[in-house]
Structure 1
Amino acid sequence: MRYRLAAFVVLLAGAPVAAQDFPAIGSQYIDFGASMASVGQMNNVLGATVRSRAGRPASAQPRSNATASTRYRGSPVVSARVRAQFGDFVAKADPANAGRLRNAVLQQDLLGAWEKHVAVDGLRRGDVADAMAAYWVQNWQIANKVPFASRAQVQAVRGQVSRALAASPAFAKLDDAARQEMAETFMLNFVAQGSAFSDATARRDAGAAARLSDAAAARFRQGMNLDLRRLRLTAAGFSADI
C-alpha cells in the first residue's frame, strides 16, 4: 500500500475548508506550534539521530533497547485548545479569509482526516511517534516532490522516531497533555501542508508546488539544520548524505 499526498483532495473535497484554502499556511517556512519548546526539542532529537547515521549501512546503525511508550491518553479539552490555536494561526496567515477559515477549522474533523490518510501505513492517533513520522515523511516528500512512499518506508521512519523519543530524557518528562499537544500540532501541520501541496499538484500549478516544496525544505534547514533534499528515504528509514 502507498502513502499518497493527493488523497487530501478527496478527503477535504466538499468540506467548508477545502485543499485550496491552505496554500497561505503550507507555503510558510514556520509551522504552527513551531515555538513550542517540546516540538522543537523532539525534532532536533530525531534530526541529530539522522545526522549521526550518515554514511552508515542499516546493519551498522545502533539500535536502542529503550521501550518507553510514545502513546498518550487523549483529552477533548486538549484537542479543543490546540484546534482553537490552529484556527488563530490560520486566520493570521490568511487575513482576507480569516473568519471563514477559523470557523471551518473549528467545525471540520481535521484530525480525523489525518487518521484516514495515514491508516494505510499503519499509523494511528494517540501516538506521538506516529504523528511525528507522518510529518517528517510528508515534508520529505514535498521537499523532493516524491508522490509515493511505501508502508515499509513509513514504518521504518516511525521506528527511528520511536527509538529517538524513547532515548530522550526531555520526552520522558512530558505528561499526556503535553504529548497530545505535540502530536496534534504535527498532525494539523501535516493536514495544512499536505492539502496545499496536493491541491497545487492536482491543478498542475508548478509555481505553487515549487514554493511549497521550497518552504518544506526551509522549515527543516532553518529549524533543524537538516537538508531534506540530501536525505534518502529507504526501507531502513532516513539516511543522510552529509
Structure 2
Amino acid sequence: MLRTLVFALIFSFSTSSPSFSQDYPFQGLAADIAMNTLHNTLLNASIRSSLEEGESGAAEDAAYLTRYRSNPQVSARAEGQFLAFVEKTSGPAGAAVVKLEFDKSSPVKLWAGLVSKDGLKPGDAVDAVAAYWILNWIIANQAHDEEFSTKPVLDQVRAALMGSPRFRKLSEAQRQELSEVLMMNFLIQQAVYSQAVTTADTRMLEQLSSAAVQRFSNEAGTDLRRIKPTQAGFVTR
C-alpha cells in the first residue's frame, strides 16, 4: 500500500528561530553507537547491496534481535544526552524549548504519532532506522508529496542490520538507545522541514536539502539524490 510520510507540525516552539533553522545543529547529533554502528557499518551496506543477501531463513529466525523492550532509564539517558547536545549547539534557551515539548509528551510517543500511519512503531530498531533514512531522503529530494511504500525499506534495513555482526552484538539497551537517539533526531529534522514546507520557505528547503545530502555523504558515503525508493527498497537511480 502506498503511503506518504506525513509531516504534521507537532512542536509549538518556533522552528524559524535562528537557533534552529539557520544553524541546524542537529544534523550531526547521535550517540557514538548510533552513528558509528548505523552509518559506517550497517546502512551503507543496505544501500550498496541487494536484499538477496539478507533474505535468509536465519535472518528471519533471528529478527527478534532487532527488537527491544523499553527501559525508562535508557530513555532518560538518551534524552539527557540529546538535550545536552542541543544546549551546547543552540544554547540554554533552545534546550529549554525542546525539553518543554518532551515534558508534554515523550519523544517516543511524539515519533510514534508521526509514523504510525506508515506502519512504523517503537520497539524495533529497524523502524527507527528506516524512518530516519526515509525522512532524510525526502528532505534531500524535497519529495514530501511523493508516495511510496515503506515496507521495502523496512525489509532492506532489517536485512542490513541482521547481516551485521556488529549490530548483532548490541545489547537490548543499546538497541533502544540507538533507536531513540534517531527518533529525537527525526523529530527535530521533521519539525524544521515541516515549517519550511508550510511557509513555502524555498531558501530554507534548499538549505535543509543540502544539509541532508552532506550529512549522508559524510557519514554513510551515500548520495541521497542518487537513490530512490522502489519495491526493492532504496536503489541507485
Is TM more than 0.5 here?
Answer: yes
SS at match of 1:2: coil
Deviations 1:164-223 (A, max 9, x none): 111111111111110000000111111000110110111111111111111111110001
- What is the count of residue pairs matched by the alignment? 228
- Partner amino acid, structure 2, of 1:169: P
Query: How far 1:151 moved relative to its partner?
Result: 5.7
Question: 1:229 is matched with which residue?
Answer: 225
Point out the more displaced range, 216-225 or 44-53: 44-53
Cα separation, 1, equivalents of 2:90 and 2:6: 23
Residue-by-residue CA offset, 1:92-144 (whole Å, 9 max, x unaligned): 22127245325325413222111011101111001100000000000000000
1:119 aligns to 2:116 (yes or no) = yes
Q: Distance in 2 between matches of 1:175 and 1:96?
A: 33
Q: State whether residues 142 and 212 of structure 1, in contact with CA within 8 Å, keep that contact through their aligned partners in structure 2.
A: yes
Identity of aligned residues (%): 34
Alignment of 1:39-118 (within 5 A): 39-44=35-40, 45-53=42-50, 61-65=52-56, 66-67=59-60, 68=62, 69=64, 70-95=66-91, 97-98=93-94, 100-101=96-97, 103-109=99-105, 110-118=107-115
In structure 2, how many angstroms separate the alpha carbons of the residues matched to 1:198 and 1:219? 19
* 1:180-219 correspondence runs (5 A): 180-219=176-215
CA distance in 2, matches of 1:220, 1:234: 19
Question: Which residue is equivalent to 1:144?
Answer: 141
Q: TM-score, normalised by structure 2?
A: 0.86
Gaps of 5+ in 1: none
Q: CA deviation at 1:77?
A: 0.6
**CA RMSD for the aligned pairs?**
2.3
- Which residue of 133, 142, 152 corresponds with 2:130? 133
Q: Residues 148, 111 of structure 1: CA spacing in aligned structure 2 closer, same or farther, 3 A cutoff? A: farther
Relative to 1, partners in 2 of residues 1:218 and 1:5: Cα closer, same or farther, differing over 3 Å? farther
1:157 to 148, 153, 157: 153
When the two structures are superposed, what TM-score results if normalisation uses the length of structure 1? Answer: 0.85
Deviation at 1:29, TM superposition (A): 7.1
Q: What is the aligned partner in structure 2 of residue 3 from structure 1?
A: 4
In the alignment, the residues of structure 2 paired with residue 138 and residue 38 of structure 1 have an alpha-carbon distance, to the nearest angstrom, of 16
Q: Deviations over 1:64-87 (max 9, x none)?
A: 311222110110111111111111
8 A contact 2:227–2:235 mirrored in 1? yes
Q: Deviation at 1:19?
A: 4.5
Q: Relative to 1, partners in 2 of residues 1:95 and 1:29: Cα closer, same or farther, differing over 3 Å?
A: closer
